[in-house]
Amino acid sequence: MSKKLLSLAALGTLCTAFPALADGAPTLVETKVISAGDTAWMMTSTALVLFMTIPGLALFYAGMVRKKNVLATLMQSFAICALITVLWTVVGYSLAFTPGNSLIGGLDRILLDGMLYLKDEGKLTVHPLAGTIPEAVFMIFQMTFAIITPALITGAFAERMKFSTMLVFMALWSLLVYVPVAHWVWAPGGWMFDHGVLDFAGGTVVHINAGIAGLVAALVLGKRVGFGREAMPPHNLVLTLVGASMLWVGWFGFNAGSAVAADGRAAMAMVVTQVATGMAALSWMAAEWIAKGKPSVLGIVSGAVAGLVAITPAAGFVDAKGALAIGLISGAVCYWSATSLKHMLKYDDSLDAFGVHGVGGIIGALLTGIFAVKEIGGVEGNLMTQAVGVGATVVYCAIVTFILLKLLDMVMGLRVSEEEEREGLDVVLHGERVE
Amino acid sequence: MKLVSAIIKPFKLDEVREALSAIGVQGITVTEVKGFGRQKGHTELYRGAEYVVDFLPKVKLEIAISNEQLDQVVEAIETAARTGKIGDGKIFVYDLEQVVRIRTGETGADAV
């Protein structure tokens, strides 16, 4: 979410009218301040971002695993969607987006208490980051981001993690990593917010966070049985291409929706999202074509996702030229990280959660500091400020993820047994199979 | 009686079936199989992970015939399945001891 969601003038007016807005707390206002256009676009964006996880990401990942694990892979994204929905309602939203201190939010919205729509009085609550839409829409839009982030991590430990442990890990990770980092970056009063770190739609909060957690998970869980010795080709790249295409479409809600308004800035965010994605898809395809002799389907769709990731923090700050540069760089660098770096360092980030989301997120966050255009976002980027944001997210996320996984390994065990892994997670964990 | 088993390229199946029908063969059984011979496999590359695929898809035909039909059948398969390129497949011929048509209980040459 852009931190400068409202024009300064609008913010000034609102702050005068509703002094409580100044401290970052949601406020009760008259329904007439609500913009029907903004609200309609944000409800649409919410649906688009939910669509990115189920079925977009679920299919993108499911096509890349072996057939014996396809249902288990789909199940992870779907179950995370349900789990985070409940957690976000109970406590996540409150801790991320209500005033607290610079590290964590408050408890004003536990069970969404105080998030109001009063029909007879003609009043409802709005969040200070989105003064023209109901707080309810802001809350659920944010929920879809909280859902997709842990779902992205599942790509790193695909085909080997216990489902029960995964659920507990994701619940804890969401509350201990996602929620605080979202508060730091996006909530007024969060320390990165106040430090001027730019993250329009979630380069740090979503992608670096998920990518680093994925890398740590791949290292702690270890490789799949037979990794490097046995063939583990994707079982159905049709699913992967369909899923990637849904991600591409849904990402308009993610990025243009992060303007939290149906305005000119949302339009710019939409344009640069499309431009960077097309460029990155071509960039990965060209790199692979030159290096390996063939342009693969998996390659071009991976390039598109890398571009989507990299433009995420920059959308709303950069112009089309910046988007072309970000696409070109992210496509080629992510190609290298997902194909060469991984094999060089010998970790089994099975579906490249780190190689695409971690690396793409870091590239995007840093390049936002270089390509930000003052006329679009109202701020000039600063590479050093961006680097602070990236560094803090990487370190915090890596440490907490590592501790969580080690604790859960002792208490519950992280992996299925070797025989179960050979048998396939679909039958072993879920008692079902695709044929 | 003879059992002819032929491994051919999958896309040649229709041509072979037509050639066999044309010389009066009454029935064939087809199985999708994989294998390797002199034809080399191919390499697949997924995000830098390289897999050599040795086993190529082929189609296996099984045809039960009388001794008199043998030469004609072998020639028909050979002609129809040949592309001249490596990987065209092979034809195996076995002696067939007994054939039973399940519906009528006929045996031997009558059941072929």
Cα dihedral A293→A294→A299→A303 (10° resolution): 70
Q: Distance (Å, rounded) from C-alpha A264 to C-alpha A269? A: 9
pLDDT at A4 over 50: no
pLDDT at residue A381, as a whole number = 87
A338 to B46: CB separation less than 8 angstroms, yes or no:
no
- Tell whether B45 is within 8 A of chain A (Cβ): yes
Residues of chain A positioned with their CB less than 8 A from the CB of B44: 233
pLDDT at residue A6, as a whole number = 39
- Tell whether A340 is within 8 A of chain B (Cβ): yes
pLDDT mean over A73-77 = 98
pLDDT mean over B89-99 = 96
Helix axes B13-22, B70-81, angle to 10 degrees: 150
- Tell whether A155 is within 8 A of chain B (Cβ): no
Q: What is the 3-state secondary structure (H, E, C) of chain B?
A: CEEEEEEECHHHHHHHHHHHHHCCCCCCEEEEEEECCCCCCEEEEECCEEEEECCEEEEEEEEEECHHHHHHHHHHHHHHHCCCCCCCEEEEEEECCCCECCCCCCEHHHHC
What the block records as the tokens of A270 is 């939409």
pLDDT at residue B53, as a whole number = 87
- Give the model's confidence band at A1: pLDDT under 50 very low, under 70 low, under 90 confident, else very high: very low
pLDDT mean over A378-395 = 94
A231 to B51: CB separation less than 8 angstroms, yes or no:
yes
pLDDT at B97 over 70: yes
Q: What is the 3-state secondary structure (H, E, C) of chain A?
A: CCCCCCCHHHHHHHHHHCHHHHHCCCEEEEHHHCCHHHHHHHHHHHHHHHHHHHHHHHHHHHCCCCHHHHHHHHHHHHHHHHHHHHHHHHHHHHHHHCCCCCCCCCCCCHHHCCCCEECCCCEEEEECCECCCCHHHHHHHHHHHHHHHHHHHCCCCCCCECHHHHHHHHHHHHHHHHHHHHHHHHCCCCHHHHHCCCCCCCHHHHHHHHHHHHHHHHHHHCCCCCCCCCCCCCCCHHHHHHHHHHHHHHHHHHHHHHHCCCCHHHHHHHHHHHHHHHHHHHHHHHHHHHHHCCCCHHHHHHHHHHHHHHHCCCCCCCCHHHHHHHHHHHHHHHHHHHHHHHHHHCCCCCCCHHHHHHHHHHHHHHHHHHHCCHHHHCCCCCHHHHHHHHHHHHHHHHHHHHHHHHHHHHHCCCECCHHHHHHCHHHHHHCCCCC
pLDDT at residue A2, as a whole number = 47
What the block records as the tokens of B69 is 């039909």
Q: Distance (Å, rounded) from C-alpha A355 to C-alpha A211? A: 7
A352: nearest CB among B45, B47, B51: B47
Q: Distance (Å, rounded) from C-alpha A231 to C-alpha B49? A: 9
pLDDT at residue A239, as a whole number = 98
CA distance to partner chain B, nearest, from residue A338 (Å): 6
- Give the model's confidence band at A293: pLDDT under 50 very low, under 70 low, under 90 confident, else very high: very high
Contact indicator for A153, A214 with CB cutoff of 8 Å: yes
Task: Give the residue on A whose Cα is nearest the Cα of B48.
Answer: A339
pLDDT mean over A34-62 = 98
B51: nearest CB among A233, A296, A302: A233
pLDDT at A411 over 70: yes
pLDDT at residue A3, as a whole number = 44
Least confident interval from A13-22, A293-302, A319-328, A399-408: A13-22
Higher pLDDT, B50 or B14: B14
Q: Residues of chain A with pLDDT > 70: what percent?
A: 95
Residues of chain B positioned with their CB less than 8 A from the CB of A239: none
Interface confidence, given as ipTM, is 0.78
Q: Residues of chain A with pLDDT > 90: what percent?
A: 92
**Residue A281, CA distances (Å) to A61, A127, A222, A273, B87 in order:** 18, 37, 30, 12, 36
A339 to B48: CB separation less than 8 angstroms, yes or no:
yes
pLDDT per position as a tens digit, B36-87: 988 878 889 999 888 888 899 999 999 999 999 999 999 999 999 999 999 9
| A117, HSE (Cβ side, Cα atoms, 13 Å) | 8
pLDDT at A14 over 80: no
Higher pLDDT, A194 or A14: A194
- Tell whether A63 is within 8 A of chain B (Cβ): no
pLDDT at A12 over 80: no
Helix axes A264-292, A320-336, angle to 10 degrees: 40
- Give the model's confidence band at A206: pLDDT under 50 very low, under 70 low, under 90 confident, else very high: very high
pLDDT at A364 over 80: yes
B47 to A292: CB separation less than 8 angstroms, yes or no:
no
Task: Give the residue on B whose Cα is nearest the Cα of A344.
Answer: B48
Least confident interval from A14-23, A26-35, A82-91, A175-184: A14-23
Cis peptide before A295 (omega within 30 of 0): no
Chain A residues 293-312 with a CB less than 8 Å from chain B: 294, 296, 298-299, 302
**Which amino acid is residue A176, in one-letter code?**
L
B44: nearest CB among A233, A342, A352: A233
pLDDT at residue A318, as a whole number = 97
What the block records as the tokens of A35 is 């913009």
Q: Distance (Å, rounded) from C-alpha A329 to C-alpha A283? A: 8
A298 to B46: CB separation less than 8 angstroms, yes or no:
yes
- Tell whether B46 is within 8 A of chain A (Cβ): yes
B47: nearest CB among A231, A294, A339: A339
Helix axes A135-153, A209-221, angle to 10 degrees: 30
pLDDT at residue A284, as a whole number = 98
- Tell whether A229 is within 8 A of chain B (Cβ): no
Task: Give the residue on B whose Cα is nearest the Cα of A237.
Answer: B46
pLDDT at A13 over 80: no
Residues of chain A positioned with their CB less than 8 A from the CB of B47: 298-299, 302, 338-339, 342, 352, 355
Over chain A, what is the mean pLDDT?
A: 94
- Give the model's confidence band at A78: pLDDT under 50 very low, under 70 low, under 90 confident, else very high: very high
Chain B residues 72-101 with a CB less than 8 Å from chain A: none
pLDDT at residue B35, as a whole number = 93
pLDDT per position as a tens digit, A336-363: 999 999 989 999 999 999 999 999 999 9
pLDDT at A5 over 50: no
A298 to B47: CB separation less than 8 angstroms, yes or no:
yes
Size of interface A-B (CB pairs under 8 A): 27
- Tell whether B49 is within 8 A of chain A (Cβ): yes
- Return the residue in B47, B51, B52, B54 with the most chain A beta carbons within 10 A, the one to mutate for interface testing: B47
Q: Distance (Å, rounded) from C-alpha A322 to C-alpha B67? A: 77
Least confident interval from A125-129, A396-400, A412-416, B47-51: B47-51
pLDDT mean over A247-273 = 97
B46 to A342: CB separation less than 8 angstroms, yes or no:
no
pLDDT at residue A324, as a whole number = 98
pLDDT at A134 over 90: yes
A338: nearest CB among B45, B47, B51: B47
pLDDT at residue A17, as a whole number = 38
Q: State pTM to two decimals.
A: 0.89
The owner of tokens 């519906």 is B103
Contact indicator for A368, A381 with CB cutoff of 8 Å: yes
